Amino acid sequence: MISFEEVGLRYGTQPEIFSGVNFTLSQGSFYYLSGPSGAGKTSLIKLSSLTQRPTRGFIRMFGQVIEHHDRKSLTSIRQKIGIVFQDFRLLNHLSVFENVALPLRIKNIASSSIRQNVEELLDWVGLGNRMHYQPLMLSGGEQQRVSIARAIIAQPHLLLADEPTGNLDPEISEKLLKLFTQLHRMGTTIVIATHNEHIIKTHPHPILHLDNGILTERILPTFPDLRLKTSPLSDISDTIKNL
Amino acid sequence: MNPFLHQIIPLKDTSQDRILMAMIALMMCSILMIMASALFLSNLSAHWHKSVSHIATIEIPKNTPNKTISELKKLLNNSSLIKDFNLINKDRIKDIIAPWIDQSVLNSEDLPLPTLLTVSLNSGSPIERDKLKFSLKALDENIKMETHENWLSSAFERAQTLKTLAWIIGLSLTLTLIISLSILTRTRVLLNKEAINLLHISGASDAYIVKQFLIYIFGVAFKGILIGCLFASLLLLTFSSSTTPENSEVFTFATLSSGHMSILWTMPFIILVFMLLTTSKTVTNELRKMV
């Protein structure tokens, strides 16, 4: 699904953040991206979400080499990716409904279908009664739920989350991880950038560890195979509502 | 998706939109007034050409012998260049010179008023006109014929200069409007960079984002142009209705023909199209700088 080949990145004239990063994520996999602060986790997420171009090397996504694509054709690849930002990045002038509906509007989905899907998903994440609120009227946890709903509404093939638990208390973080695990069971490829060791230990998955510009893959001894096939939406509904 | 219903990028800013709308309205009104002036001048010079170029005035000094006058009549009647001629009566001559002469002198019997003839000319070459002038001189050295060519060509030149100037000012205003719009659009792109980035990340194409800007600019520009056109129409109507019967002789021809009206009222649409093209080009260029 994603493969990095000798990828390097530098900002301006600064030294390279990565030196020849190589990795491959297969479809339906679940990885943590760990490393100390400033190691470049966010930069790697940016590269994976195509919001940053590498200064060298190749990124292959969904079987296509990104460097060979022009701006126009990148949009179809981006539509297959859902992102949960650390700072949520909600559009505060729009309602919760419109924030969640955004990826569907971009995909030119009919309004009636958008209404049905968004209302269903907002009910599912327990924000059905707040769909006309503006994001700033919601708590941090609720904003996170809106951000997650927006990331998954268009059923992305790949879900990237940058420090999704950074602003949340341990209890909500735990519930959020359960949600990601359940989305993974439904077949979504998930990459979570985090430096929260507790979460990594309690919800074990393979780890891509980034340190001093070098990426290594680790698998915890207790790592179970959680890559099960689809489970009904209702199974994860309660987890999401409790966030 | 209906983009007219969903303005995702927060481009609307009531106070700034009003300023932009007022600027567009003012520019539009100025452009239309200047264009109208250029077209008026065009009509004016055409009218002069049509009405004055075939008229001449013959001045016969006071105390010219009757014999010379009858020979003059004969000459005028026999000339193929002359369609007809009429005597301008004394009172009309007095009216013409009244502003420059004291009333007591004007009423004096000793005032050496010449006899003036208005002559309608058939189309003829300048050589034929010069020939007629020489024939008149041969009759009496003091008889003068004025064909208005000198002042008419000078007036044409001035009208042409003013017309060119009006077009240059109109184009400059249009350019200023378009450049201002380009700067404003660039500012709006930078101000909304985060929302635009989010749209890009979510899979929105550049065309989708450009469309958002076009909808916004169209809304503001259309209202501004409409207001500008209304003001320009009111000013033009006021100008037309202010022509009194006394000066209507001068200004009735200075109304716009349907052809000129079409040119004038096509301008706002052309400017609107230019504004939308500028917006599209500016946003596209700015988006290309983003990932």
Q: Per the domain annotation, does B9 fall within a domain?
A: no
Tokens 């009549």 correspond to B73
Q: Which value, to the nearest 10 degrees, does the dihedral of the CA atoms of residues A34, A36, A40, A44 take?
A: 10
A113 touches chain B (CB under 8 A): no
Better-predicted residue by pLDDT, A130 or B15: A130
In a domain, B216, yes or no: yes
Eight-class DSSP state of B108? -
- Region B10-39: mean pLDDT is 89
How many CB pairs below 8 A link A and B?
A: 61
pLDDT at residue B250 tops 60: no
In a domain, B1, yes or no: no
Domain count along chain B: 2
Which of 1-20 (B) contact A at CB < 8 A?
1-2, 5-6, 8, 10
pLDDT of residue B281: 95
Confidence of residue B272 (pLDDT cuts 50, 70, 90): very high
Contact A36, A195 (CB under 8 A): yes
Regarding whether B46 and B163 lie in a shared domain, the answer is: yes
Residue among B10, B199, B203 minimizing CB distance to A93? B10
Query: Of the residues B147, B167, B187, which one is the last residue of a structural domain?
Result: B147
How far away is chain A from the Cα of B201, in angstroms, using its nearest Cα?
6
Looking at the fold, whether B219 and B275 belong to one and the same domain comes out as yes
Contacts of B199 in chain A (CB under 8 A): 102, 106
The pLDDT assigned to B227 comes to 96
Cβ contact (<8 Å) for B202 and A111? no
Q: Are residues B104 and B228 part of one domain?
A: no
Q: Are B164 and B272 contained in the same domain?
A: yes
Predicted local distance difference test score (pLDDT) of residue A167: 67
pLDDT grade for B255, boundaries at 50, 70 and 90? low
CB–CB contact A78 B203 (8 Å): yes
B176 vs A140, higher pLDDT: B176
Q: Which residues make Cβ contacts (< 8 Å) with residue A100, sequence separation at least 6?
A: A118, A121, A122, A131, A146, A149, A150, A153
DSSP B142: T
**Where is the domain boundary, B147, B162, B188?**
B147
Q: What is the pLDDT of residue B1?
A: 41
**pLDDT at B2 (0 to 100):** 45
Helix (H) or strand (E) holding B17, with range, is helix B14-52
Angle at A29 between CA A143 and CA A31, to 5 degrees: 60
Residue numbers of the domain that contains B95: 54-147
Q: Rounded to whole angstroms, how far apart are CA atoms B252 and B242?
A: 11
**pLDDT confidence band for B243 (50 / 70 / 90):** low
Residues of chain B contacting A106 with CB distance shorter than 8 Å: 1, 199, 202-204, 208
Does residue B38 sit in the same domain as residue B157? yes
Q: Taking residues B78-103, report their average pLDDT.
A: 81
SS (H, E, C) A34-80: ECCCCCCHHHHHHHHCCCCCCCEEEEEECCEEHHHCCHHHHHHHHCC
The verdict on B122 and B189 lying in the same domain is: no
| B206 in A contact zone (CB under 8 Å) | yes
Based on the fold, state whether residues B33 and B68 are members of the same structural domain. Answer: no
Whether residue B4 is contained in a domain is answered as: no
B278 vs B69, residue with greater confidence: B278
What is the CATH classification number for the domain harbouring B78? Answer: 3.30.70.260
Q: What is the pLDDT of residue A242?
A: 54
Q: Is B22 domain-assigned?
A: yes
Q: Does the structure show a pLDDT above 90 at B223?
A: yes
Which secondary-structure segment (H or E) carries B83?
strand B82-88
pLDDT, averaged per 10 consecutive residues of chain A (243 residues), comes to 87 83 88 86 88 87 80 85 90 94 91 92 87 92 89 90 80 80 87 87 88 78 45 49 53
Q: How far does chain A reach from its first CA to its final CA, in angstroms?
A: 29
d(CA B37, CA B130): 36
Cβ atoms of A42 and A33 closer than 8 Å? no
Q: Of A41, A39, A78, A1, give the one whose Cα is nearest residue A161.
A: A41
Residue B275: pLDDT band (50, 70, 90) is very high
Same domain (yes/no): B142, B192: no
For position B254, what pLDDT does the model report?
54
| Within a domain: B113 | yes
Q: For residues B171 and B274, state if they share a domain.
A: yes
pLDDT of residue A137: 94
Instruction: Tell me if B6 is assigned to some domain.
Output: no
Average pLDDT, integer, range B149-174: 84
Q: Which of B147, B171, B194 is the last residue of a domain?
A: B147
- Is residue B8 assigned to a domain? no
Same domain for B268 and B166: yes
- Give the closest-approach CA distance of A104 to chain B in angstroms: 9
* Domain identity same for B46 and B77: no
Same domain? For B137 and B194 the reply is: no
